Amino acid sequence: MKHVVDKMLGTHQSLVHSEGVKILSHTQREIEEWVQHTITIEGCDAPFKFKRTKKYRSLQGQKVNMTYYPETETVAGFDFEIMKVVRIKRY
């Protein structure tokens, strides 16, 4: 499993991998045929977002390994830093 993450990090310079991070909150909302998941983690103010085709069990309080990259989202004319999750696995 570690080999897959190392390969991803080697080919995409902006990717970041974090292991054993604790999820403080997890929200899910439907947007057309997708479910938008937004999580916050301990020690970071930026929200982490990813889309899936269905709802999941709540990840609140779980420890996870995540691979993500920083992105900027504009809401009402203001720029916010978010983290776009590429891969998430429960710890």
Q: What is the pLDDT of residues 66-75, one digit of tens each?
A: 999 999 999 9
Q: Name the band, by pLDDT with cuts 50, 70 and 90, for residue 4.
A: low
pLDDT at 24: 97
Residue appearing with tokens 């269905």 = 54
Pairing mode of beta strands 34-41, 78-90: unpaired
The mean pLDDT value for 41-64 works out to: 94
Comparison of pLDDT for 15 and 50, the residue scoring more: 50
pLDDT at 15: 87
d(CA 42, CA 54): 25
Mean pLDDT score across all residues of the chain:
89
pLDDT at 31: 92
Structure tokens, 30: 């439907």
For the chain, list the domains and their CATH numbers. Answer: 2-90 (2.40.50.140)
Closest CA relative to residue 38, chosen from 75, 7, 9: 75
In degrees to the nearest 10, what's the CA dihedral of 69, 52, 31, 67? -10
Write phi, then psi, for 73 (nearest 5 degrees).
-120, 135
Residue 72 host element (H or E): strand 63-75
pLDDT at 17: 86
Q: Give yes or no for residue 8 having a pLDDT over 70.
A: no
